[in-house]
């Protein structure tokens, strides 16, 4: 199922104070190698395209990644109450949001860096355009380095049916690329990244900058915006926690055995201590199923709030061809299961959806109809 475009929303991570810094011209690949401690195995193919080509390329990427038509994807989002059923032209709003954020992108399926000849309008107003373009190149070339060493395109494709697992993996690769980019920007200003990471000022500044990002259309559905930000902001927090444990070598180890759930991204200490063991997701669809999804802690937090998803263990959420939803979830304790059930049923009720629920120990089943 389509989850995420292979594009860069790095504009979310560039507060004005950093954009204002002056940057000399540099060889970006050498800069990435110096920061990351890895040498490129071969040159990166670079192609330049015009901004007017972006919508067509985004649509093509959606078609490539989806096992069903775009209209079905939108129906699934509506059925799961991730987007407002009354909002019109959701596909157009999704494309517009991504198009406004794309500055350049590395495609791990083609192994090509695509440079976009024009900046988006919001980026033109942000400050030093050359600094911005160079920062983007650092970020995207980090993806190229990840691809050469860790085969990120193949790993991403293997997770296409695991919504939560794919989002967690994107958080690792985007968080790492963001930290490399930030380390380069700080170096241009004569500031070592290790010093900036000691008091959390860096990640807090990035979060605040993204929250106030004027490049995002205020009418864009909240789910689209939050799922766009998550790999960059929460991914950055996870990667910073990893870096503090063992520098870039720790990131090498994580790339070999990355987190498999957004629970581990949101709670890095559980990943490092191995106190939580993710269950393999089996997305085999029963008869009459449009899709079976793995939502994970990020999506449940989005729906019912982080206070009601403590102890998430696993889930299988089936959307049938008749738009009925069967949400099976597992929790670590009975108390957490009851708390989630109550919050989820209340959430659905607030959205005019009558739900039926059952609890068996730590397992919760909630069913409801979601007419188109």
Mean pLDDT of 254-283: 96
Is pLDDT of 130 > 60? Answer: yes
**25 SS3 class:** coil
Q: 294 and 225: one domain? A: no
Whether 277 is in a domain gets the answer no
Q: Are strands 112-116 and 104-107 parallel, antiparallel or unpaired?
A: antiparallel
- For residues 223, 236, 200, 184, the Cα torsion angle rounded to the nearest 10 degrees is -130
211-249 pLDDT tens trace:
545 567 788 899 999 999 999 999 999 999 999 999 999
Q: Which residue has the tokens 């490129």?
A: 40
Q: Which residue has the higher pLDDT, 89 or 297?
A: 297
CATH number at 339 reads 3.30.1360
* Contact predicate 58/95, CB 8 Å: yes
Whether 280 is in a domain gets the answer no
Whether 1 is in a domain gets the answer no
Q: 125 and 258: one domain? A: yes
Which of the 8 DSSP states describes residue 151?
-
Q: 293 and 262: one domain? A: no
How many domains does the chain divide into?
2
Whether 281 is in a domain gets the answer no
* Contact predicate 125/80, CB 8 Å: no
Whether 193 is in a domain gets the answer yes
pLDDT of residue 293: 95
In which order are the strands placed within the sheet that holds 104-107? 45-49, 112-116, 104-107
Mean pLDDT of 32-47: 95
**Cα(278)–Cα(260) distance, rounded to whole angstroms?**
7
- Burial of 132 from C-beta contacts in 10 A (0-12 / 13-18 / 19+): buried
Q: Which residue has the higher pLDDT, 322 or 346?
A: 346
Whether 4 is in a domain gets the answer no
How far from the centroid of its chain's Cα atoms is residue 367's Cα? Answer: 28
Whether 22 is in a domain gets the answer yes
CA distances in angstroms from 209 to 12, 15, 202, 348, listed in the order given: 7, 5, 11, 32
Where among 206, 237, 271 does a domain terminate? 271
Q: Which residue has the higher pLDDT, 133 or 247?
A: 247
Q: 211 and 75: one domain? A: yes
**Cα(14)–Cα(24) distance, rounded to whole angstroms?**
18
Q: 237 and 336: one domain? A: no
Whether 2 is in a domain gets the answer no
Q: Which residue has the tokens 């983007």?
A: 136
Q: 239 and 339: one domain? A: no
**Cα(233)–Cα(79) distance, rounded to whole angstroms?**
27
pLDDT of residue 5: 46
pTM confidence score: 0.90
Alpha helices in the chain (DSSP H): 16-19, 28-36, 54-65, 70-79, 90-101, 121-124, 129-150, 152-158, 163-188, 193-196, 201-211, 222-256, 262-266, 268-273, 296-304, 334-350
Strand partners, 315: 329
C-alpha R_g of the chain: 21
pLDDT of residue 126: 60
Q: 91 and 231: one domain? A: yes
What are the tokens at 315?
């889930």
Q: 100 and 191: one domain? A: yes
The count of residues in the chain is 372
Q: 98 and 173: one domain? A: yes
Q: 295 and 260: one domain? A: no
Mean pLDDT of 267-292: 93
Q: 82 and 200: one domain? A: yes
Q: Which residues of 212-229 are buried (b: 16+ CB within 10 A; e: fewer)?
A: ebebbeeebbebbbebbb
**Cα(334)–Cα(132) distance, rounded to whole angstroms?**
50
Boundaries of domain holding 230: 10-271
Q: 136 and 262: one domain? A: yes
């Amino acid at each position: 199922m389509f989850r995420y475009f292979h594009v860069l929303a790095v504009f979310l991570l560039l507060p004005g104070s950093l954009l204002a810094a002056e940057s000399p011209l540099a060889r970006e690949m050498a800069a990435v190698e110096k920061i990351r401690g890895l040498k490129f195995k071969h040159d990166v193919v670079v192609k330049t395209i015009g901004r007017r080509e972006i919508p067509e390329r985004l649509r093509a990427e959606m078609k490539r990644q989806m096992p069903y038509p775009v209209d079905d994807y939108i129906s699934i989002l509506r059925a799961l109450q991730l987007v407002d059923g009354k909002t019109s032209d959701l596909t157009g709003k999704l494309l517009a949001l991504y198009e406004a954020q794309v500055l350049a992108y590395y495609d791990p399926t083609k192994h090509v860096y695509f440079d976009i000849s024009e900046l988006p309008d919001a980026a033109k107003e942000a400050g030093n355009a050359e600094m911005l373009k160079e920062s983007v190149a650092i970020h995207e070339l980090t993806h190229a380095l990840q691809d050469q060493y860790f085969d990120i395109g193949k790993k991403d494709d293997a997770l296409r049916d695991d919504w939560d697992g794919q989002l967690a993996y994107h958080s690792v690769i985007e968080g790492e690329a963001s930290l490399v980019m930030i380390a380069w920007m700080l170096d241009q200003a004569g500031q070592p990244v290790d010093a900036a990471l000691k008091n959390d000022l860096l990640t807090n500044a990035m979060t605040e900058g993204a929250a106030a990002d004027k490049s995002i259309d205020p009418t864009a559905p909240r789910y689209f915006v939050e799922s766009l930000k998550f790999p960059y902001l929460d991914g950055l927090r996870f990667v910073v926690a990893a870096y503090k444990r063992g520098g870039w070598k720790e990131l090498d180890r994580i790339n070999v055995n990355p987190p498999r759930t957004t629970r581990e991204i949101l709670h890095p200490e559980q990943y490092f201590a191995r106190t939580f063991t993710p269950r393999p997701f089996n997305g085999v669809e029963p008869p009459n199923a449009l899709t079976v999804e793995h939502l994970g802690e990020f999506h449940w937090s989005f729906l019912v709030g982080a206070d009601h998803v403590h102890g998430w263990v696993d889930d299988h959420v089936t959307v049938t061809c008749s738009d009925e939803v069967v949400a099976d979830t597992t929790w670590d304790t009975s108390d957490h299961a009851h708390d989630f059930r109550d919050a989820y049923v209340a959430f659905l009720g607030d959205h005019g959806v009558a739900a039926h629920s059952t609890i068996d120990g730590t397992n919760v089943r909630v069913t409801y109809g979601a007419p188109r």
